[in-house]
């Protein structure tokens, strides 16, 4: 983990160890949450980019991703954006990623792929045998490696997505890495997402109109029927809800919607 002076007070010494780093980051998070408690998502994002320094956005370029991507484009078109290409995504997602990147003028989208997928899953059937192992190989581990240089990262998580996120704050500590997670949309409702897209005339992912309100890898994503939970089409009938990129108390958790 690198040390970014902007993350701490101007006169604070660099942390000497994990415990010292934890204390300083918890203090910074508490200060930021208090300062931005009643602010908009845009204010939270701008404040985070100003105060935290070494930050990246992780985006799936999925059903709701365009909201944060647009906010970032307005604030800083050069911000590093990590896009995990599992090499099993829908063609529509890959095309959407390219089109949005160009349309929004994003200059630092980094496409991350697993380096050993060909060796460990040569015929592309691992997902049929063990979906968790496939997610670790193609998404979780590549993302962990890509996030290593950063002190903080921006997510699209929201309180309404699940009970475990009901008390989600704008800023939180990632226990496993002591990295700060920034959740500008934490307080948004589904109607806020729709309104922002419409007001800014942002293009939706093409699969949304085909019944895919939550979009992941093609083999493990199916259309959702009217009345079903928006994530019912992810790993359908497999008792799995999350790829594992979010952590609580150092452990991957299976909760709500994607990044």
Considering 134, 135, 217, 243, which one is annotated as catalytic? 243
Predicted confidence at residue 179, as pLDDT, reads 94
What pLDDT is attached to residue 193?
Answer: 94
3-state secondary structure 130-157: CHHHHHHHHHHHHHHHHHCCCCEEECCC
- Taking 3-state DSSP, the helix, strand and coil percentages for the chain, each rounded to the nearest 5, stand at 40, 10, 50
pLDDT score at 99? 97
Between CA 111 and CA 120, with CA 116 as vertex, the angle to 5 degrees is 135
Q: Which two tokens stand for residue 56?
A: 């990246």
Residue-level pLDDT at 255? 34
Residue among 138, 136, 131 nearest 117 (CA): 138
- Average pLDDT per run of 10 along the chain, which is 259 residues long? 49 64 92 94 94 93 96 96 96 98 98 89 90 90 94 86 64 91 92 96 96 91 87 72 46 40
pLDDT in the model for residue 230: 80
Contacts of 247 (CB under 8 A, 6+ apart): 174, 175, 176, 177, 253
Q: Note if 243 is an active site residue.
A: yes
Distance from C-alpha of 83 to C-alpha of 29, rounded to nearest angstrom: 26
Domains of the chain by range and CATH?
A: 5-210 (3.40.50.620)
pTM above 0.75?
yes
pLDDT at 118: 83
């Amino acid at each position: 983990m690198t040390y970014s002076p902007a993350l701490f007070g101007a006169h604070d010494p660099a942390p000497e160890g994990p415990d010292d780093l934890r204390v300083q980051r918890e203090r910074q998070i508490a200060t930021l949450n208090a300062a931005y408690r009643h602010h908009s998502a845009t204010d939270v994002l701008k404040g985070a980019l100003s105060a935290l320094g070494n930050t990246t956005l992780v985006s799936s370029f999925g059903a709701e991703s365009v909201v944060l991507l647009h906010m970032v484009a307005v604030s800083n078109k050069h911000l590093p954006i990590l896009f995990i290409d599992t090499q099993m995504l829908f063609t529509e997602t890959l095309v959407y990623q390219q089109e949005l990147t160009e349309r929004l003028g994003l200059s630092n989208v980094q496409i991350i792929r697993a380096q050993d997928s060909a060796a460990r899953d040569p015929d592309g059937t691992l997902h049929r045998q063990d979906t968790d192992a496939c997610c670790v190989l193609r998404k979780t581990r590549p993302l962990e490696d890509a996030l290593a240089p950063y002190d903080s990262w921006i997510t699209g998580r929201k309180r309404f997505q699940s009970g475990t996120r009901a008390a989600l704050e704008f800023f939180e500590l990632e226990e496993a890495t002591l990295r700060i997670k920034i959740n500008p949309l934490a307080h948004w409702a589904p109607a806020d997402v729709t309104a922002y897209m419409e007001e800014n005339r942002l293009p939706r992912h093409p699969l949304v109109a085909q019944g895919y309100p939550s979009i992941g890898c093609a083999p493990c994503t199916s259309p959702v029927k009217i009345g079903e939970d928006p994530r019912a089409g992810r790993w359908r009938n497999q008792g799995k809800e999350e790829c594992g990129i979010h952590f609580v108390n150092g452990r991957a958790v299976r909760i709500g919607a994607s990044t």
